[in-house]
Structure 1
Amino acid sequence: MYFHAGQDFVLNTRDVIGVFDLDTAGASRRTEEYFRHAESEGAVVDLCAPGTLPKSFLVTDFPDET
């Protein structure tokens, strides 16, 4: 089964580890550290419409295509 994450981004549901609410998870210091590390590794894909703030985030086991 496939999951439409936003924009033109579709992934297999078997690659989805979790879907998290930024209002609750975003307040955690560990979540902030996780985001900083993921961004530095180039593992963050912003799927929000221009000018909007994200409400949730996905953690996936997406295969590295480099």
Structure 2
Amino acid sequence: MKAKIESPYMNTAETLDYLRICRKTLYNWIGQGIVTVYKIGNANRFKRSELDDALRPVKPIM
């Protein structure tokens, strides 16, 4: 049996489900530079590790 290899990239539907946001919010975040979108062929792809990093809370410097 072959092991399933998980791609580091997600399509738009997977990204919306992963982040639990609506399409409008995702495209607002792209416009604000919070999320990076990659064009692969004619499809938009989002890198899971970058989504995790972008949404990780930042600790204030004291």
TM-score, with normalisation over the residues of structure 2? 0.34
Q: Which has the larger radius of gyration?
A: 2
Larger RCO: 1 or 2 (CA < 8 Å, sep 6+): 1
TM-score of the pair, normalised by structure 1: 0.33
Structure with greater proportional helix content: 2
